[in-house]
Amino acid sequence: MSFVEYGDTIKDGDTAIVFLGHESMFPIKVQHGTVTQTKYGVIRHSTDLIGKKYGSKVTCSKGGWVFILHPTPELWTMNLPHRTQILYSTDISIITMMLELKPGSIVCESGTGSGSLSHALIRTVAPTGHLYTVEFHQQRAEKAREEFREHGVEHLVTVTNQDVCKNGFGVSNIADAVFLDIPSPWEAIGHAKSALKAEGGRICSFSPCIEQVQRTCLAMEEYGFTEINTLEILLRVYNVRTISLQIPDLGKAAEDNSSTDFDSSNPSHPGSPCTNLQQGTVQFKSGVPLREVVGHTGYLTFATKS
């Protein structure tokens, strides 16, 4: 099983997604002799999962059913165990595009965190690219290595446990892009420039506070970065539902008494008085925004190494 090489059949040792609904899903590790409890009953890995095709509808012990899905970076972002705050698909998509990533790209990242963005970067640069990711916290770095190994992508990523602000990324002049998600990104701009290829590349810094953005932009200018640009991505979701509105009573049309050739006895005359609109309601489909919407996540600052 690999997050970048999709398979059809569920195998022992795979990571799979149990899908109960769009708002209810969770990851499991498939193992012989193991059972998983859901609100619809028990799923027995040996008989219900192993050997079945991904996307299969599996009936649980209580008669309810779930779908078993092959993991993707998008599904993993929604279901991963949180060791830190993570980036979600809204920000990940614009990061991937603005850094101009493609298969074969070399990317440096700090910090690794829970690996949400890391999995998306790995899938984007596969099969010939590579991700160098730096994590300051030792336990988080070790857990990230374990997850990458279990997900079949360890050959596409190198995890380093060190302080990127002091020691850099451990590589020089090889990266096409650098991503920073650390408390003081301005302290790592010099190391980011050293990691980027001599002919240039792109950098992105994610920060939740505008004061961090200001100091980072000043550091980028100091190190000669150009095309500095800061974005804030806000997601607004609409629900499509049927609503009813009352038909308004507009009253009678005003008569034009100045017209001498008006024939009030002719109901087909375009100037004849209108009768009152019949009172009632009309139903139609409408997009209604949610009462609670996802607000500010962070600022994304992009720049180019000249």
Residue 88: give its domain's CATH number: 3.40.50.150
- The CATH number for 53's domain is 3.10.330.20
Under the phi-then-psi rule, with left for phi > 0, alpha for psi from -120 to 50, and beta for the rest, what region is 51? left
Q: Are residues 52 and 141 in the same domain?
A: no
- Examine the domain organization and report whether 85 and 113 are in the same domain: yes
Domain that holds residue 181: 75-234+295-305
Domain identity same for 32 and 104: no
Q: Is residue 276 part of a domain?
A: no
Residue-wise pLDDT tens digits, 27-66: 999 999 999 999 999 999 999 999 999 999 999 999 899 9
Q: Based on the fold, state whether residues 156 and 229 are members of the same structural domain.
A: yes
Indicate if the pLDDT at residue 144 is higher than 70. yes
**Which among 7-11, 213-217, 254-258 has the top mean pLDDT?**
213-217
Q: Is the per-residue pLDDT at 257 higher than 80?
A: no
Assess if residue 4 is contained within a domain: no
- What's the mean pLDDT in 142-171? 97
| Whether 80 and 205 share a structural domain | yes
Residue 208 lies in a domain: yes
Total domains in the chain come to 2
Query: How confident is the model at residue 23, as a pLDDT?
Result: 87
Which of the listed residues 34, 52, 71 is the one where a domain comes to its end?
A: 71
Q: What is the pLDDT of residue 235?
A: 83
> Are residue 216 and residue 130 in the same domain, yes or no?
yes
Query: Binding site for S-adenosyl-L-methionine, residues?
Result: 114-117, 135, 163, 181
**Same domain, yes or no, for 86 and 185?**
yes
Per the domain annotation, does 281 fall within a domain? no
In a shared domain, residues 84 and 53: no
87 and 221 assigned to the same domain: yes
Please tell me whether residues 103 and 195 are part of one structural domain.
yes
Q: In what order do the strands lie in the sheet with 57-59?
A: 24-29, 15-21, 65-69, 57-59
> Beta strand pairing status for 130-135 and 157-161?
parallel
Give every CB contact of residue 257 below 8 A, 6+ residues apart in sequence. none
CA distance 229 to 86: 22
Chosen domain end from 71, 94, 120: 71
Please, which pLDDT band fits residue 266 given cuts at 50, 70 and 90? low
Pair (91, 25) in one structural domain: no
- Over range 248-261, report the average pLDDT: 60
Q: Does the residue 286 lie in any domain?
A: no
Task: Answer yes or no: is 84 within a domain.
Answer: yes
**Which residue positions form the known binding site?**
114-117, 135, 163, 181
Look at residue 41 and tell me if it is in a domain. yes
In a domain, 108, yes or no: yes
Tell me the pLDDT tens digit for each residue of 61-89: 998 999 999 999 999 999 999 999 999 99
Q: Examine the domain organization and report whether 31 and 173 are in the same domain.
A: no
